[in-house]
Amino acid sequence: MPDEITKSDEERAGAAMPDFDEARLSFSWDDAATLVDGWPDGALNIGYEAVDRHVEQGHGDAVALHWIGKDDTRRQLTYADMAVLSSRFANVLKKHGLEPGDSLFALMGRVPELYAAAIGTLKAGMVFTPLFSAFGPEPIRTRMEIGNATVLLTTAALYKRKIAAWRDQISSLKLVLIAGNEAPDDCVALGPALDAASPEFETVHTRPEDRALIHFTSGTTGKPKGAVHVHQAVVYHAYSGRNALELTPGTIYWCTADPGWVTGTSYGIIAPLVNRVTMIVDEAEFDLDRWYETVQREKVEVWYSAPTAIRMMMRAGDAAAEPYVFSSLKFLASVGEPLNPEAVIWSHRVFGGPFHDNWWQTETGGIMIANTSAMDIRPGSMGKPLPGIEAGIVERENGSVRECESGEIGELALRPGWPSMMRTYLHEQARYDKCFVDDWYLSGDLAMKDKDGYYWFVGRADDLIKSSGHLIGPFEVESALIEHDAIAEAGVIGVPDETAGEIVKAYVVLNPGFEASEQLEREVRGHARKKLGPAVAPREIVFRKTLPKTRSGKIMRRLLKARELGLPEGDISTLETDET
C-alpha cells in the first residue's frame, strides 16, 4: 500500500486552498467572515445567508436543489423557489403564534419540504432540530422533552405510529405540522397552509450568538446530549464548505447524509446553500447501482459520503463500477468515522481520485481536520487542522493537560474560539464545562500527530485496548483486517484476560463469496499477525452477518463490548437494527 498519494501541480492550482501552509499563515477570521454578508446592524441569520441573499444578488435562477424521489420522481428548486417556499413556511409558523427562540423538531425523510422548513425555521428566528425518521417513539419523545419542542414537523404515517400516543404529554408542544394535504384533527396539514401563506417574509435579525441549531449526540450512558449551536456557525459552514469540500458557486454536490444527523444539516443543507451550489438529494436509501447511476447521470462533481457506504461499494468490487463513468467527479470526501487506508486506495483506483477523510464532531459543528484537495494524502490519516483551527495531542494529568510530542498517542484537543463550536449542552452546563481543561476542548478521541503535522485517529479514549503493556487502537487492527480479501467490515474490542490484562477480539463481516469456517478464521488471524505482529493481532475472530452501527455509519464498539461482557448498553437510540 503506498505511503502517500501525491497531488499534481494542476490539482493544487485548481483547489480552493492551493497552498495549505500559506493559508494557515495568512488566515484571519475577518477574512473568513467575508464569505457571508450579515446586516449593517451586526445581525446574522443562517437562513438569509443560505438562500435569500443569493436571490437579492441576482442568482435566483440558479438551481439550489435537484430532488430524486424513491420512485424516480424528480423535482427541481431554484434559489428563488427556495426563498419563496422557506418564506411561506416561516409565515405558517408566525400565523400559529410561534416566536423567535421557539424550537422546531423535524421528523421526516429527505423531501424538499424538509430543506425549505429548515431554512424557514431559521429565517423565523426559531431553533431547528433534526431527528432521524427511523427513531422509535421513545428516542423521539426524550429529545423533544429535553429540547422543549414547540413545533413538530412530520408525516401522517410517522405521527400515527410514533407520536400520537404521547403527544399531549409534551407540555411545550404548540403545533404539529403534517406534510401533505391532509392531517389528523389535532394537527395542521402543511400543503394547504403553505399555499395560503404569503411568499414574502422579513427574516428576523438574529444576533450571532442567538441559538440556531440543536443536534443531539448519544453518550455511553444516560440521556442523549443536546449540543447548542448559534447563527455565528454559518461563518464556519461557509468557510469549511469552501475549503475542505471544494463547494463553490454552481458546483454539483451530493452529500449522502440524512439531515437527521449533524453532517446532513451542516454539510447537507447549510454549507452547500451558503456557497450557492446545486445539491443532489436522493430520497432513497443506499443502493449500489442507483448511487453509481446518480453520480454518472447528474454529473456529480463533489461527493461527500460515509465510510460504511464506501466499504459497501468496495465490497461489491471493481467490476460493479466498471459500467459507469465517473469523469465528472472532482473531489470525494468521507465523514462519520475514520476511513480505512484500503478504502482510500480503492477509491483512487476506481473513481480516479481518493476519498479524502476528515474529522469533526457534533460538538465542533464543522470540519476541524481534513485532507484538502491540494494536500498529499496519507491513507489512514484524517489530515491536518484547517487554517484557523489550533489542534494538539494532550494527556490529562491531575486536572490539567500536558501537550504530547510527535508520534505520542494522546487525546485530540482544540483551542476554543471557532464560530461553529457548541455553546453548551442543553440543561447540562456542568457536563459542558468538563469538556474544557487549560483552554483546550478535549474531544474524547485518541490520536497521534506525525512529524509532518498529519493527524492519525487511534480510537475513542474508552475504546483503547491495553494488552501486555501495549496500547492498541482498534482502528489500526480493523484497517489491517479489512485488507484481507474475505473481510468487508471489522469491529475490534478488548476483553479481559488474567495474564495480558486485555486481549484483542475482532468481529468481522464477510464479503460475498466467502463462508465462515475454522480454516478462514485461522487464515485471517495469520494475516493479522503478519501485518500487526502477535502482540497487536486479534486472538479471537467472530464472524457476524452485520455489526451494530449508528444510523450515521459508526461501528458501535462500546456496544460490542457491553454485549460481550454483559454490561449496560447505555443510550442506543441511534442504533441501526443489527443481527448477531
DSSP state of 462: G
Report CA 474 to chain centroid distance, whole Å.
Answer: 21
Structure-block grid coordinates of residue 210: 442567538
For every residue of 381-439, DSSP letters joined together read --BEEPTT--EEEEEEETTEEEEPPTT--EEEEE-S--TTS--EETT-HHHHHTTEETT
Tens digits of residue pLDDT in 85-133: 999 999 999 999 999 999 999 999 999 999 999 999 999 999 999 998 8
- The pLDDT, as a whole number, for residue 3 is 73
Structure-block grid coordinates of residue 495: 476483553
Over the Cα atoms of the chain, what is R_g?
A: 23
Helix axes 288-298, 307-316, angle to 10 degrees: 100
Taking the C-alpha atoms of residue 213 and residue 235, their distance in angstroms, rounded to an integer, is 14
555 vs 200, more confident: 200
Mean of per-residue pLDDT scores for the chain: 92
Which of 17-31, 134-148, 564-578 shows the lowest mean pLDDT across its residues? 564-578
Specify the domain boundaries for CATH 3.30.300.30 within the chain: 464-565
pLDDT beyond 80 at 468 = no
| CA distances to 258, 260, 501 from 133, in Å | 9, 7, 42
DSSP state of 170: -
Tens digits of residue pLDDT in 398-412: 889 999 999 999 999
- The pLDDT, as a whole number, for residue 340 is 86
Tens digits of residue pLDDT in 413-460: 999 999 999 999 999 999 999 999 999 999 999 899 999 999 998 877
Specify the domain boundaries for CATH 2.30.38.10 within the chain: 390-461
pTM of the predicted model, to two decimals?
A: 0.85
- The pLDDT, as a whole number, for residue 500 is 73
Which of 28-32, 216-220, 334-338, 537-541 shows the lowest mean pLDDT across its residues? 216-220
pLDDT beyond 70 at 223 = yes
**Order of strands, edge to edge, in the sheet holding 74-78?**
74-78, 63-68, 278-282, 252-255, 302-305, 331-334, 355-359, 369-370, 384-385
Task: Decide: 15 and 23 in contact? Cβ < 8 Å.
Answer: no
Superfamily of domain 390-461: Luciferase; Domain 3 (2.30.38.10)
Phi-psi region of 34 (alpha: psi -120 to 50; beta: other; left: phi over 0): alpha
**Correct CATH for 43-229+265-276 of 3.40.50.12500, 3.50.50.60, 3.30.1330.10, 3.40.50.12780:** 3.40.50.12780
- The pLDDT, as a whole number, for residue 578 is 46
Using 50, 70 and 90 to split pLDDT, how confident is the model at 311?
A: confident
Task: Decide: 574 and 552 in contact? Cβ < 8 Å.
Answer: yes
Residue 42's contacts (CB-CB under 8 Å, 6 or more residues apart) are 207, 208
Superfamily of domain 464-565: ANL, C-terminal domain (3.30.300.30)
- The pLDDT, as a whole number, for residue 1 is 44
Q: Which residues partner with 189 through β-bridges?
A: 178
- The pLDDT, as a whole number, for residue 503 is 87
Tens digits of residue pLDDT in 546-577: 888 876 667 888 788 878 777 655 555 555 54
Tens digits of residue pLDDT in 518-529: 999 999 999 988
Beta strands in 41-125 (DSSP E): 63-68, 74-78, 103-107
- The pLDDT, as a whole number, for residue 570 is 56
